[in-house]
Structure 1
Amino acid sequence: MTEFEFAKSSYSGGDAGQECVEVARNIPGTVAVRDSKDTAGAILRLVPSAWAAFLADAVRE
């Protein structure tokens, strides 16, 4: 199985203390999200339409 290739947001600033998520979109049909401070922790797997809905709602806030 292909491993997720996580990327941190350009807004994260690279500081270890920042609260950020990492997102992987390299697996077809899956968007994976994890806490950048706990890379060995849980991974939330979403279908792309759910991720798009989340982003659309987040932009409105």
Structure 2
Amino acid sequence: MKSSTNDQVEGKFHKVKGKIKEIAGKVSENPGLEAEGKDEKRAGKVQEKIGQVKKVMGK
């Protein structure tokens, strides 16, 4: 199982990566890439929250 810090770092990474894809999709008028970026950004937020919960729970 991943540590809370790793989850938080990976979550932030995926949020940034998703935001970049989202912007690239808007600029290139590629709705598929934009949607992929939004999905990755949401997944990053979830992973970051999981890391925060693990930290509070002491895992």
TM over 0.5: no
TM-score (norm 2): 0.32
Structure of higher RCO (CA pairs closer than 8 Å, 6+ residues apart): 2
Query: More helix per residue: 1 or 2?
Result: 2
Greater Rg, structure 1 or structure 2?
A: 2
TM-score (norm 1): 0.31
